[in-house]
């Protein structure tokens, strides 16, 4: 089970791109076996404060351990997959 | 029109900056590692809260919040309480333990929003961002993006209207302002902190490089980190020559010497006694101290060579009772090794004593010993700052300095100090027919005539005894006395 938090800022270009890419990965590579929380810092700044977020977008992989962070618009899919530790071979039809 | 400034409350910084930091603007504070940038920023906030009731926001990109709280405790700044009262707010942007990788374009809007919220929430008038260089190391592959984003941060700060400090790392003490070139967009106000190792001595200085559209003192001013007061700046460049020059005279404690000086030292003058070891310098100091009796003055003696006991015993042997003077509260003797602290700290220490004891006279025995605690340059600056301080307070000073040669010669110490002294008294050995004799001469007496004779000087049980001048002998000052036949 993969658990993610994705911090975005409203409808900024980078935010939209990151959400799109991540949703695609979740659907195509994780077979629906994931939990994703999308947090808009405009609406929920306290959460950004708690997590110490500086950059937007920031993706936090909470599980599996160890926790890691990817910042940026996530536009190079192969690197995102590598960063999240997801095998790109695992593609559902 | 001059820009308005915000008083910082940092000792003497408001003095050298002609009133503080430009209000509502951002000042770049750059320095090498260990140059007290973080402390300067923290002190700016602490003083704001303590002296002016102005809340502040501290953003850390480098040190962990807990470490900062812990480190600042030693200055008795109660940050925990200030945080609870909403006067001090941390924005934690320090590196996390987690691995961070960057994939694609990003911005720092999350940081900007957090900063803005913090400032609005506690109505901060002061903001510190420490240190901006670390954000480049956190996102080391994206320096271009970071630079672009930092411009946004600078704009946010100026929109918020708080007076802010951004600290930045530099690699060399003299060279490029900052490591990552942030001065490109934070150019208006720049302060540089230095921590230079020179001749095995550490020397900390602060320099205001520029305040756009506003005046400030130029050049480096030494500062010290005091355990109670944090950063204390010694404002060299702001020293001026507008002292009160008194025509009043005070006694040297030796009537015959007063006569040589045409009536004694001027009140508030700086007087140097130069001589080799055992030539009678401390004796002159003891008499200078005894001289306070005449008008019930108070004297502070800073002894850097001898212990209390030695001093009291020696004075006793010349018939001067230090103990009695001390018991009456007229004399304060401080014996310290010059090496125990830096010159700046000695200076701050003396200032503290002057504030409470309020002496009319200060004797320093000896300046040469004190000069060991610093580099040449640092010592020269100390002398300028110190003499100017004494003159400002109308304190009459007597400094002694050791000459390396028994007869004749001068010392480096004198080279530094003689131009700013009001009088110089030379004590020299004279070798005559297989005997060491002592001599005394007044080399210089500003604003007055003085005796030009080189006189015999003897030390007896009653103290100093000044005799006739050495007739028919020349070459005493060069150390080669010769008997000249008188025609």
Where is pLDDT greater, at A93 or B444?
B444
Q: Note the residue count of chain B.
A: 487
Residues B293, B252 contacting (CB under 8 angstroms)? no
Q: Contact B40/B195 with Cβ under 8 angstroms?
A: no
Per the CB < 8 A criterion, the answer to whether B445 and B457 are in contact is: no
ipTM value, please give it.
0.90
Evaluate the CA torsion angle B155, B157, B159, B164 in order and state its sign.
negative
Highest mean pLDDT among A79-93, B51-65, B418-432: B51-65
Tokens representing residue B377 in the block: 């340059």
**B261 is written with which tokens?**
């000086």
Can you tell me the mean pLDDT for A43-67? 89
pLDDT in tens, B93-104: 888 877 788 888
Whether the per-residue pLDDT at B399 is higher than 60: the answer is yes
Residue B123 has pLDDT above 60, yes or no: yes
Share of chain B above pLDDT 90, in %: 38
Are residues A55 and B99, on separate chains, in Cβ contact within 8 Å? no
Give the global pTM.
0.76
Q: Does B323 touch chain A (CB under 8 A)?
A: no
Pairing of strands B270-275, B396-402: parallel
| CB contact (8 A) between residue A56 and residue B96 | no
Long-range contacts of B73-81 (CB under 8 A, 24+ apart): B74/B227, B75/B43, B75/B46, B75/B227, B75/B228, B75/B230, B76/B228, B77/B42, B77/B46, B77/B50, B79/B46
| pLDDT of B1 over the 60 cut | no
Distance CA B128, CA B248 (A): 51
d(CA B386, CA B345): 12
B212 — pLDDT class (breaks 50, 70, 90): confident
> Residue B409: what pLDDT?
65
Q: Say whether pLDDT at B480 is over 80.
A: no
Question: Across residues B318-346, what is the average pLDDT?
Answer: 90
The burial class, CB within 10 Å (0-12 / 13-18 / 19+), for B357 is middle
- Name the residues of B annotated as catalytic: 62, 305
- Name the packing angle between helices B143-160 and B109-121 (round to 10°): 20
Number of Cβ atoms within 10 Å of the Cβ of A76: 14
- What band does A93 get if pLDDT is binned at 50, 70 and 90? very low
The tens digit of pLDDT for each residue in B141-174 reads 777 778 888 888 888 888 998 999 999 888 877 7
> What average pLDDT does the segment B368-390 reach?
83
Q: Check: CB of residue A16 under 8 Å from CB of residue A73.
A: no
- pLDDT for the residue numbered A77: 83
Residues of B in contact with A54 (CB under 8 A): 93, 108, 110-111, 135, 138
- Write out chain A residues lying below 8 Å of B110, CB-based: 7, 9, 41, 48, 53-56, 58
CB crowding B415-450: b at 16 or more within 10 Å, else e: ebbeebbbbbbbbbbbeeeeeebbbbbbbebeebeb
Structure tokens at B41: 């920023």
**Orientation angle between helical segments B281-290 and B308-317, nearest 10 degrees:** 80
Confidence of residue B177 (pLDDT cuts 50, 70, 90): confident
Check CB contact under 8 Å for B98 and A73: no
In angstroms, the CA A72 to CA A6 distance is 11
Lowest average pLDDT, out of A6-15, B311-320, B427-436, goes to: B427-436
Distance CA B392, CA B240 (A): 10
Alpha carbon separation from B198 to B203, B373, B461 (Å, rounded) = 7, 12, 46
Closest CB to B111 among A18, A54, A66: A54
- The pLDDT of residue B239 is 57
Q: Which residue has the higher pLDDT, A29 or B397?
A: B397
Mean pLDDT over residues A50-74, rounded?
Answer: 89
Cβ-contact B186, B166 below 8 angstroms: yes
* Mean pLDDT to the nearest integer, B266-293: 91
Three-state secondary-structure class, residue B66: helix
Evaluate if residue A30 carries a pLDDT over 50. Answer: yes
Nearest to B456 by CA among B466, B448, B442: B466
> Quick one: pLDDT at residue B2?
66
DSSP state of B76: T
Does residue B431 have a pLDDT over 90? Answer: no
- Quote the pLDDT of residue B382: 85
- Name the more confident of B134 and B399: B399
Query: A36 pairs with which residues across the strands?
Result: A4
Residues of A with a Cβ under 8 Å from any B Cβ are: 7, 9, 12, 14, 17-18, 41-42, 45, 48-49, 52-58, 60, 66-76, 79-80, 83
Q: 3-class secondary structure for A11-77?
A: CCHHHHHHHHHHHHHHHHHCCCCEEEEEEECCCCHHHHHHHCCCCECEEEEEECCCCEEEECCCCCH
Is pLDDT of B108 > 70? yes
The winner for highest mean pLDDT among A40-44, A85-89, B479-483 is A40-44
In this complex, do B101 and A79 lie within 8 Å of one another by their Cβ atoms?
yes
- The pLDDT mean for chain B works out to 86
The beta strand positions in B61-200, using DSSP E, are: 88-92, 99-102, 126-130, 163-169, 189-198
pLDDT of residue B183: 63
Whether B315 contacts B340, CB under 8 Å: no
Length of chain A (residues): 93
Tell me the mean pLDDT in the region B29-35.
Answer: 88
Residue A92 scores a pLDDT above 80: no
pLDDT of B469 strictly over 90: no
| Distance in angstroms (rounded) separating the CA atoms of residues B369 and B379 | 11
Cα–Cα nearest to B333, from B371, B307, B367? B307
Positions of E strands within B42-183? 56-60, 88-92, 99-102, 126-130, 163-169
Paired strand residues for B226: B230
B237 has a pLDDT exceeding 60: no
């Amino acid at each position: 089970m993969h658990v993610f938090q994705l911090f975005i800022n409203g409808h900024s270009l980078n935010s939209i791109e990151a959400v799109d890419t991540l949703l695609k990965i979740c659907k195509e590579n994780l077979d629906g076996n994931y939990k994703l929380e999308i947090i808009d810092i405009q609406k929920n700044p306290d959460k950004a404060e708690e997590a110490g977020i500086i950059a937007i977008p920031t993706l936090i992989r909470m599980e599996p351990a160890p926790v890691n962070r990817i910042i940026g618009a996530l536009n190079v899919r192969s690197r995102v997959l590598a960063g999240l530790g997801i095998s790109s071979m695992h593609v559902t039809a | 029109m001059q820009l308005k400034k915000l008083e910082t409350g940092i000792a003497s910084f408001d003095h050298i900056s002609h009133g503080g930091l430009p209000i509502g603007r951002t000042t770049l504070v750059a320095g090498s590692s260990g140059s007290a940038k973080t402390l300067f920023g923290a002190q700016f906030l602490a003083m704001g809260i303590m002296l002016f009731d102005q809340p502040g926001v501290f953003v850390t990109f480098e040190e962990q919040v807990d470490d900062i709280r812990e480190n600042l405790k030693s200055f008795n700044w109660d940050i925990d309480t200030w945080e609870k009262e909403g006067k001090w707010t941390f924005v934690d942007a320090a590196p996390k333990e987690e691995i961070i990788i960057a994939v694609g374009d990003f911005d720092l809007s999350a940081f900007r929003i957090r900063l803005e919220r913090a400032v609005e929430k506690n109505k901060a008038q002061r903001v510190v961002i420490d240190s901006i260089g670390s954000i480049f190391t956190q996102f080391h592959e994206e320096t271009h993006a970071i630079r672009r984003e930092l411009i946004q941060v600078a704009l946010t700060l100026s929109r918020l209207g708080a007076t802010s400090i951004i600290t930045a790392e530099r690699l060399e003490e003299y060279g490029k302002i900052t490591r990552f070139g942030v001065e490109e967009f934070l150019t208006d106000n720049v302060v540089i902190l230095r921590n230079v190792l020179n001749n095995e001595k550490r020397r900390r200085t602060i320099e205001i490089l520029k305040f756009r559209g506003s005046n400030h003192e130029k050049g480096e001013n030494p500062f010290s980190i005091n355990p109670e007061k944090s950063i204390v700046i010694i404002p060299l460049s702001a020293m001026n020559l507008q002292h009160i020059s008194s025509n009043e005279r005070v006694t040297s404690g030796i009537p015959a010497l007063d006569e040589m000086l045409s009536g004694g030292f001027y009140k508030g003058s700086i007087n140097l006694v130069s001589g080799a070891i055992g030539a009678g310098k401390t004796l002159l100091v003891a008499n200078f101290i005894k001289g306070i009796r005449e008008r019930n003055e108070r004297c502070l003696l800073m002894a850097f060579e001898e212990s209390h006991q030695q001093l009291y015993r020696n004075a006793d042997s010349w018939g001067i009772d230090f103990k009695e003077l001390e018991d009456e509260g007229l004399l304060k003797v401080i014996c310290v090794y010059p090496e125990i602290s830096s010159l700046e700290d000695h200076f701050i220490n003396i200032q503290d004593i002057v504030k409470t004891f309020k002496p009319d006279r200060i004797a320093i025995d000896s300046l040469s010993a004190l000069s060991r605690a610093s580099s040449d340059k640092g010592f020269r600056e100390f002398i300028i700052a110190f003499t100017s301080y004494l003159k400002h307070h109308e304190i009459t000073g007597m400094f002694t300095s050791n000459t390396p040669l028994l007869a004749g010669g001068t010392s480096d110490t004198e080279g530094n100090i003689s131009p700013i002294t009001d009088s110089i008294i030379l004590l020299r050995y004279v070798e005559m027919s297989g005997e060491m004799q002592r001599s005394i001469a007044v080399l210089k007496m500003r604003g007055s005539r003085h005796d030009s004779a080189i006189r015999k000087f003897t030390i007896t049980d009653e103290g100093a005894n000044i005799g006739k001048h050495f007739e028919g002998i020349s070459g005493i000052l060069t150390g080669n006395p010769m008997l000249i036949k008188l025609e």
